[in-house]
Structure 1
């Protein structure tokens, strides 16, 4: 971090363009010739005691001048006097005698100076600054651009004679720390460095390293949280997240101070330490912590631990600063500590990173809320950091390019105006660089957010593919910018995650607004780019972008076909009687002509159900018999499945029939009550309200004492069931599981929630309070192509007697599917909840008969 302390204390009095003349030297000519007709007129001079990194940098400068002009520029240690103009790199003896004021520069800042017509100086506030000065020199005077990683991404103009302006340049970054995580390999790392990426603040999840569990569960178990039922949680190893220290524990401040001071003693070159909370929550619920925290929720709807946490951070930092007064401390404003504290201002040496995906600011209301929160944070912290999610991650998250050039520039400018000085983003770019100029522009804006976005993009496109082809490449990326900033904020996928810190990348429903015609247009534009590209290298880059598109489009085609099929299916399911049968037959004929996808089997089942609803008897049974799930060797499966009531489709009500013979709770659904029970099969994805690939059936019955539930979860990939959670009331929803939500008629919107995983681990809560522990039975049965959950829940668990015939309770049945090789988990339910299953106002109704 070098001069972070100087940077924080000195107001950066630079023009927002970061370029100006100092005008303190003797007059020099307006230009200097570096190369004339291929002959070098300059050399690079480095200090006599030059280190390896500076010497390597000197050869980098020489290399790129050679690539541009074919002139070999010598690199020598001082003293060097062979009659050539000298480019002094770093603090040579000559530079030491100049008054360049570099001691006032930020560590990443630099000066490019022309003291006279025989000397050029490139020097920074640190080695990083000198390095960035060299890259500015190459960009400014030679026109080199590092458009994307690798040799193909280098734009290098060619000259026989190279003359440059002698106007002095001084620059400092507007944001002192700039970093992308997820870059892979040396090519991507080098590319980011050329574009001046430099990470200078440690702030990530770190409390498990401050108090490593394998040691501290033995010597200070009181430092660990009480989660539920007065039981202290002791993590199994040093890698386990899902817990936070008990910030009210006696001695925990002093122990933290001791450990951090020892860290700085062992690592004197380090300038910062992370106090970032661990991942996955798990804050302490001991009496003293809860007394200080209270019941207040934060902006994310989570219990607000900000005051207790940030007070603890202040106490720790104040203690460390007594021994190490120049150190800084980063941390994450994340989840339960997302909001600023209400009682204390943070120590000026603490830099909180606000975690949020700011592409969501394409929604004006969300943007307004985010700007307000940033303003609130600015009142409590003298310097802020921003943590963003700008994926990327095509294998796990997003297939298409995801770009928002102008919105990005807008929020960077807002950030600077509101005390944000450090930026970090999870990027994880694709190897085929399908997002084009996104990360390039981002790094340029992080250095100077007041750049002209359109001018910078135009230059990138022209450098990449030539002036004639550039407009078509610009139009291609403009389409994706419009898609992500205009279409996506209107989608159900976006709306369902409004309250989340980042968008739901686990769902591919961001593709729902995309149409096949869009892809045709994109292909046409990229083919025009190839056709219009000029030079051989421009042609190569154009083909690189087209090849990238053709590669990921193959993965996309099945999604587009799937979503068009599913969307049309939902429209048809709203029809009735003869019109319904006619529409379903036409739809079936259309689907049969399309290539199959992961949803095809489920679609055919729904077609059979709709035909049955339209009056074609036996259509449902026939559809099931033709499905892959009918290949199961379990005999009772068909009897359970056949007995379904298609009239329930799109209904918000399900009947529970009284049974005089209760089912045997063993997970085997062959009891008489299940054979005659009305069942729901209409499970839809909880964010997009469309069909899922693996159907779920649910039946309900009751007697005088119990409510009985039967879930049948069809599953082609039984060997891939996820059953990792083994703790009662743990994060069971991360496994393959079913959920039951119920609001008894007398309880308004206060709901009970029961989760049972495929390994029979339970979670039960009353309005998310896991202190509710009903005595109920639940058994799981695992078949060959399905698994089941069968439950008997006493009515007294809900403080209720047997409901009278005609009573109505609010309920919902949901399923979390983690298994499958599609790497796309499905969260589905009977009633659509717009991305929030904890929404009793969206539940359906259970009618007791």
Structure 2
């Protein structure tokens, strides 16, 4: 069928007499893109104004029994019918037609590929229908949230929590019963931990708590009458109530979800025409025995899973949990994760897991999937957003074809190099089947695998070639520079850790940092991680670390003896404090950690040396219970037996509710030049998180890195 031929057409677009505003807008969208393609504007008419021209009907002109989300594209006697079972489905059908049959592509909000044709021809016999199995599709990306039209083109929601009460979307216990208002007067409302009530979670067997929550839910729905969903869910920690009543229920239910579901069911009974959502998350992920009511939505979260392989291979416990919940309810929403949240811009080769995971969700009758991107730009952000939307619409689509289509369309001549990078880094990860690709990991964990020195050089070469390929296309070159940010970041972290002679801190490293910051600024990339650690924070901290690393250090490589025991991180290696490798913004990155105890270490300078200054860096990541020490005291000795106190440095940023979540602080001491051989460092740990912290009562960490002595 020829819709347009040499600037002429014998077609008109017809909207039905009972067309809604949204169906009319869908007809206008079709008209606009046909004009963009052919420079011919088809007439847009209603049924009563038709001429003898052939028709493109937008709407269910045949009155077929289409399901709510079903789309249909059909030719019939030289006519074309584009229809759907609802306004949203009709809009989806128009965009599907434009993409499948007219070749339109939408790579980013301001980057589309619309062919320029003198003639528009489509197959004579089309009978295409698609009823997406995942009905509510959300990709947590600001590309969709900030541009409704772009979200519509990709058939995903433009809100992260459509239908939800805005103030009650997730982790809501503290919303209903805030610690600031109730804890001091009514500690019994909160979780019993050990022998003390703490405001980490609520006591779900307290009847007054239930009444307060129901009253809050009622108020929130009344103030947001347009909404239909509200979350009654745990705060973001695992400090559940262990009182006798709660404990008894959880034991009966064989899951901590037992108290949660019984509590949420009681709330849901009071709002039968609304949906009450709750989390199957961390300690409540395992299914209980009690069935959720029909208006309870179970949001099942895959946060713990290894992203190096599909969930069915490396996260079988989660796979078992979805099967268990599926046996209890048909009302499941999946909250999946696709980005490294501690390092948005880090290489994160999980593309091979996206499709099998979505297919697994689909196969277990999940109708609502929320794919938690970072919202803010992350590695290959545009591609990730594009690919996730495609897979949610059709879980069986060809992933390699989608990636190739995108890289060629978005990066033009540089596309083959970007695709080669993607293929190579995933290929290299597969060579290390024991590697745990973690949402809260760090590039430093991969310097012996897919980010080895030789591979980093290979990736750098690919992006150098990519930039050369589009050197005469400034806008495309900007896209390539943004795409390579993940490798630039990995290189910077490799230099910080001095993983080889090619990757170590030198005077030239400053240029790499400044270039990284410049590309981010031009692309409006502001955040490095979910802890609100900014690109500016990262760059400034890195420049400071360069300054520290390049100054003379008589402690470099010297033996360290620990008087207190570290735990888990940096291989528990004392030499982390003097190895010349500098810690980054993540505790996986070359930091020596002490949980619940002080840091005490002695550095042997091997001979008496003039000492006039001592500095040690400490990390803070408050949401992971990593706090700056209260104070750091330095001691000196000539014989390693008798020590003289040299001075104490107090934490200049004491912990509070408003503390920076992610930060690095140097505890610097200047003294009168003294001849010393041994330097002792004592960093005083807070010992445990304060009562108002989500980890109240748990041991806190102190993380230290390079000690610099001059």
TM value normalised by structure 1: 0.59
- Give the structure 2 partner of residue 372 of structure 1: 320
- Give the structure 1 partner of residue 635 of structure 2: none
- Give the structure 1 partner of residue 494 of structure 2: 560
Q: Is the 8 A contact 1:244 1:282 kept in 2?
A: yes
- Give the structure 1 partner of residue 262 of structure 2: 311
Q: Is the 8 A contact 2:143 2:150 kept in 1?
A: no
Counting only pairs closer than 5 Å after superposition, residues 784-823 of structure 1 correspond to structure 2 as 789=683, 816=702
Counting only pairs closer than 5 Å after superposition, residues 395-434 of structure 1 correspond to structure 2 as 397-428=343-374, 434=380
Gaps of 5+ in 1: 1-31, 234-241, 299-303, 569-586, 613-645, 655-678, 701-711, 725-730, 741-755, 763-780, 794-812, 818-825, 830-849
Structure 1 residues 109 and 601, CA gap change in structure 2 (3 angstroms): same
| Alpha-carbon distance, 1:68 to partner | 1.0
| Alpha-carbon distance, 1:71 to partner | 0.9
Structure 1 residues 592 and 193, CA gap change in structure 2 (3 angstroms): closer
Residue from 65, 71, 77 that aligns with 1:101: 65
Structure 1 residues 475 and 503, CA gap change in structure 2 (3 angstroms): same
- 1:565-596 deviation per Cα after TM superposition (whole angstroms, max 9, x unaligned): 2x46xxxxxxxxxxxxxxxxxx9999778747
- Give the structure 1 partner of residue 31 of structure 2: 62
Counting only pairs closer than 5 Å after superposition, residues 36-185 of structure 1 correspond to structure 2 as 36-47=5-16, 52-90=21-59, 95=61, 98-102=62-66, 105-106=67-68, 108-118=69-79, 120-150=80-110, 152=111, 154-165=112-123, 166-184=125-143
The answer on 1:276 being equivalent to 2:233 is yes
Residue from 174, 187, 190 that aligns with 1:225: 190
Q: Which has the larger radius of gyration?
A: 1
Q: Is the 8 A contact 2:298 2:333 kept in 1?
A: yes
Structure 1 residues 682 and 554, CA gap change in structure 2 (3 angstroms): closer
Residue from 118, 139, 151 that aligns with 1:192: 151
Gaps of 5+ in 2: 511-541, 567-572, 603-612, 633-649, 657-665, 672-680, 688-698
In 2, the alpha carbon distance for the partners of 1:197 and 1:785 equals 58
In 1, the alpha carbon distance for the partners of 2:219 and 2:653 equals 45
Q: Is the 8 A contact 1:38 1:70 kept in 2?
A: yes
- Give the structure 2 partner of residue 648 of structure 1: 561
- Give the structure 2 partner of residue 476 of structure 1: 421
Q: Is the 8 A contact 1:331 1:352 kept in 2?
A: yes
The answer on 1:292 being equivalent to 2:249 is yes
In 2, the alpha carbon distance for the partners of 1:515 and 1:189 equals 41
- Give the structure 1 partner of residue 390 of structure 2: 444
| Alpha-carbon distance, 1:173 to partner | 1.2
In 2, the alpha carbon distance for the partners of 1:59 and 1:589 equals 55
Structure 1 residues 460 and 603, CA gap change in structure 2 (3 angstroms): closer
| Alpha-carbon distance, 1:419 to partner | 3.0
Q: Is the 8 A contact 1:361 1:367 kept in 2?
A: no
Structure 1 residues 219 and 603, CA gap change in structure 2 (3 angstroms): closer
Q: Is the 8 A contact 2:593 2:702 kept in 1?
A: no
| Alpha-carbon distance, 1:602 to partner | 6.9
Q: Secondary structure at the match of 1:38?
A: coil
Q: Is the 8 A contact 1:207 1:244 kept in 2?
A: no
TM value normalised by structure 2: 0.69
Residue from 626, 629, 642 that aligns with 1:737: 629
- Give the structure 2 partner of residue 34 of structure 1: 3
Q: Secondary structure at the match of 2:201?
A: coil
| Alpha-carbon distance, 1:313 to partner | 1.8
| Alpha-carbon distance, 1:306 to partner | 1.2
Structure 1 residues 40 and 279, CA gap change in structure 2 (3 angstroms): farther
In 2, the alpha carbon distance for the partners of 1:647 and 1:249 equals 52
The answer on 1:244 being equivalent to 2:201 is yes
Structure 1 residues 111 and 288, CA gap change in structure 2 (3 angstroms): same
Deviates more, 1:127-136 or 1:279-288: 279-288
In 2, the alpha carbon distance for the partners of 1:231 and 1:392 equals 35
| Alpha-carbon distance, 1:206 to partner | 5.1
| Alpha-carbon distance, 1:519 to partner | 4.1
Q: Is the 8 A contact 1:225 1:232 kept in 2?
A: yes
Structure 1 residues 61 and 99, CA gap change in structure 2 (3 angstroms): closer
- 1:338-392 deviation per Cα after TM superposition (whole angstroms, max 9, x unaligned): 2211x21223433322212455252886333332333233233324322122227
- Give the structure 2 partner of residue 207 of structure 1: 172
- Give the structure 2 partner of residue 458 of structure 1: 404
- Give the structure 2 partner of residue 331 of structure 1: 278
Q: Is the 8 A contact 1:225 1:285 kept in 2?
A: no
Q: Secondary structure at the match of 2:101?
A: helix
| Alpha-carbon distance, 1:422 to partner | 1.8
Q: Is the 8 A contact 2:600 2:683 kept in 1?
A: no
Aligned residues: 594
| Alpha-carbon distance, 1:267 to partner | 5.1
Structure 1 residues 74 and 245, CA gap change in structure 2 (3 angstroms): farther
- Give the structure 1 partner of residue 605 of structure 2: none
Q: Is the 8 A contact 1:222 1:249 kept in 2?
A: no
In 2, the alpha carbon distance for the partners of 1:687 and 1:365 equals 28
In 2, the alpha carbon distance for the partners of 1:443 and 1:115 equals 31
Structure 1 residues 85 and 261, CA gap change in structure 2 (3 angstroms): farther
Q: Is the 8 A contact 2:141 2:375 kept in 1?
A: yes
- 1:291-341 deviation per Cα after TM superposition (whole angstroms, max 9, x unaligned): 433599x9xxxxx521111122223324432xx2xx433322113212211
- 1:252-286 deviation per Cα after TM superposition (whole angstroms, max 9, x unaligned): 54555565456556655534332232333443344
Q: Is the 8 A contact 1:306 1:340 kept in 2?
A: yes
Q: Secondary structure at the match of 2:94?
A: helix
